[in-house]
Amino acid sequence: MLNHELLEQARGFSDAIIALRRAIHAEPELGLHTPRTRDKVRQALAHLPLEWREGPSTTGLVATLKGKAGNGRRILLRGDMDALPMTEDTGLSFSSTIPGAMHACGHDTHTAMLAGAAEVLCARAGQLAGEVQFMFQPGEEGYHGARFMLDDGLIDPLPDAAFALHIMPNSPHGMVAGRTGALLASADQFDIVVKGRGGHASMPHDALDPVPVACEIVTAIQAMVTRRFPVADPVVATVAKIEAGTAHNVIANFATLKGTLRTLSPDNRARLRQALEQLAMHIAQAHGMTAELVITPGFPVTVCDARAVDLGEKVVREIAGDHAFQRLDHPIMGAEDFSYVLEKVPGAMFFLGVAHEGADWRSCCSIHSTRMMVDESVLPLGTAVLAGCAQRFLAEGFV
């Protein structure tokens, strides 16, 4: 049985967890190559009996801990390492020292909690009936780092289960939340170019003005979403950027639209792409113009296995009490590239509330905010949850 002993053990590593988090936070790195972060992780865990693997496509790491032979089960725990291209505005003593880069999504905490779990589980290696893979992954923020690490063979053979945590700064202090099925959406980027014919703004009849056509496409997208897709299997199509023209009295040759497509099922993902192309091309054609659509595929839907969610809930309740776990009623339309792992391996991702205790968590800055703050006292709980999921699964599997 898991109990407060595991949490107390994690708290014993609190100083190390926080120190690693702050060191990573102060030197954020973007994309698939995060060498300073990789080196900080290797240095922090150099004293542990871990086997390390790296691949050619990223600076990602997989550290393997082999417990006693037991039943031969294998579990993966994942933490992401990359930051966002943002300028920090928190005023923290360990704020980013890298202009235009910030750990605004909490990946610094994810890495630190995973390193803490490695400490806890290495100390319990004699009790582990199997193998633990610690996946330190760069390139989560749109760079498909998990997919590259899989393609590089760093997670071969595949584990029998996989777990990850993601902090939520605007969720209650210490609350762990999750759900069975779709947890997060797929995310694709779209770019539409409406091609017209430029001219003088005083003589639109002698030109083909792409701007009103682009605006018509924007409004038609909203009707398409609400009238062609069921609310029970929702989709989100957001036009986030419109650009055209060079001056107030010049009709542009073209107008561009850029946005995101979010779905919770593969069927709707395919249907939405097809419907958007049909809509854009035909509206442009109706006005004597053409439209080109480019879809840049993003992450697939993050789907959590029911057995893994049940296991995580039991672990959280035993470690932190019945009040500490919440079943989410609905998916969140954000996206995660841990989805690539969960396409191949049964597992789950959980959210960890890191609002300061007693704070009005609803008013706290969310992830991807330049002012996002984390209550670091919650991080040992995250470490204990990751370690507890590993220990429970290796001992019992999915029961």
State the average pLDDT for the chain. 96
pLDDT recorded at residue 357? 87
Do 320 and 310 lie in a common domain? yes
Helix, coil or strand: residue 264: coil
Instruction: Calculate mean pLDDT across residues 271-292.
Output: 97
Tell me the pLDDT tens digit for each residue of 338-394. 999 999 999 999 999 999 988 888 888 899 999 999 999 999 999 999 999 999 999
Do 178 and 206 lie in a common domain? no
Tell me the pLDDT tens digit for each residue of 194-212. 999 999 999 999 999 999 9
Do 101 and 223 lie in a common domain? no
Comparing 38-47, 60-69, 148-157, 306-315, the range with the smallest average pLDDT is: 60-69
pLDDT band at 75 (very low <50, low <70, confident <90, very high): very high
Instruction: Calculate mean pLDDT across residues 268-281.
Output: 96
Do 336 and 364 lie in a common domain? yes
Nearest Cα residue to 111 out of 162, 150, 77, 153: 77
Do 122 and 263 lie in a common domain? no
Tell me the pLDDT tens digit for each residue of 95-132. 999 999 999 999 999 999 999 999 999 999 998 989 99
The Cα–Cα gap between 230 and 45 comes to: 49
Q: Of 261, 296, 331, which one is at a domain's C-terminal end? A: 296
% the chain with pLDDT above 70 = 98
pLDDT recorded at residue 363? 86
Do 355 and 269 lie in a common domain? no
In b/e form, how buried is each residue of 363-375, taking b as 16+ CB within 10 angstroms?
Answer: ebbebebeebbbb
- Cβ proximity of 244 and 252 under 8 Å: yes
What is the Cα 51 distance to its own chain's centre?
26
- What CA–CA distances, in Å, run from 84 to 93, 240, 258, 370? 19, 18, 20, 10
pLDDT at 2 over 90: no
Do 260 and 319 lie in a common domain? no
Domain that holds residue 360: 4-185+301-396
Tokens for 209, please give them.
Answer: 């003005």
The Cα–Cα gap between 192 and 293 comes to: 5
Domain count, the chain: 2
Do 141 and 236 lie in a common domain? no
Tokens for 350, please give them.
Answer: 């959980």
- Domain with residue 66: its CATH number is 3.40.630.10
Q: Of 280, 296, 312, which one is at a domain's C-terminal end? A: 296
Helix, coil or strand: residue 360: coil
Helix, coil or strand: residue 156: coil
pLDDT recorded at residue 70? 65
Helix, coil or strand: residue 145: helix
Pairing of strands 235-244, 254-263: antiparallel
- Cβ proximity of 186 and 263 under 8 Å: yes
Q: Of 296, 323, 344, which one is at a domain's C-terminal end? A: 296
pLDDT recorded at residue 360? 87
> Model's pTM, two decimal places?
0.94
pLDDT at 327 over 80: yes
- Cβ proximity of 206 and 199 under 8 Å: yes
Do 204 and 152 lie in a common domain? no
Instruction: Calculate mean pLDDT across residues 77-102.
Output: 97
pLDDT recorded at residue 3? 66
Residue with tokens 């002698």: 206
- What CA–CA distances, in Å, run from 325 to 152, 217, 321, 355, 399? 35, 43, 8, 15, 19
